[in-house]
A and B are shown apart, each in its own frame.
Chain A
Amino acid sequence: SQTIHQWPATLVQPVGSPLSLECTVEGTSNPNLYWYRQAAGRGLQLLFYSVGIGQISSEVPQNLSASRPQDRQFILSSKKLLLSDSGFYLCAWSVILAGFSGSYEQYFGPGTRLTVT
């Protein structure tokens, strides 16, 4: 069965400090990977998605970047955190089957609660 891990679970960082959040998926190959941010009272906001190693697309211009160094590893980074970067960060995966034109549900990790002070 597939499992998705995120760490750390919680993080408190001062403004201007760097950030690195990691996500790994087990039990599947070549997944699509996603980073979302969830703020109180707002829906999940897609930040980045990746359809393969080294392939990153950004949905929203921001202070963050993402990388995918390995097939099942997805990293969210920042060089200098802003107060507005605080939130609940979620990694998700889905699998695209060749020739399948249906929908592809996304499966989420446990999340990282980031507080920027």
Chain B
Amino acid sequence: EDQVTQSPEALRLQEGESSSLNCSYTVSGLRGLFWYRQDPGKGPEFLFTLYSAGEEKEKERLKATLTKKESFLHITAPKPEDSATYLCAVQKPNSGGYQKVTFGIGTKLQVIP
């Protein structure tokens, strides 16, 4: 069964204190790994897609990396506006004509001024 495990469940950082969020996965035939940001009471906002081990993507203070078993979301010098829940998801082909996506529970990040 496909599994996505994110750690830590919650992370509290001081403004400017860099850190990383982890997403470990077990899935056969990985087609892509996604990172989303979700603010309270809102739908997830797409951040990155990673396709293969060794790939990196960057957006402002965020950098996502991928290995064969896990992905990291590095946050450099975070600001309070980076506070949100970050979701990881993996995608693989499905015989039903769509690409099945399995989501992790997320890491709730709080950045203190």
Contacts and interface: CB of A to CB of B under 8 A. Distances in A.
B43 A102 contact: no
Given A94-B99, A102-B31, A103-B51, A113 B41 contact: yes
Contact of A106 (B4, B42, B97, B101): B101
Which label, helix, strand, loop or mixed, suits the secondary structure of the B interface?
Answer: strand
Interface residues of B, number: 27
Contacts of B36: 108
Interface residues of A, number: 26
Which of A44, A51, A108 lies at the interface centre, i.e. has the most chain B CB atoms within 10 A of its CB? A44
A109 interface: yes
Nearest to B30: A103
Nearest to B104: A43
B99 A104 contact: yes
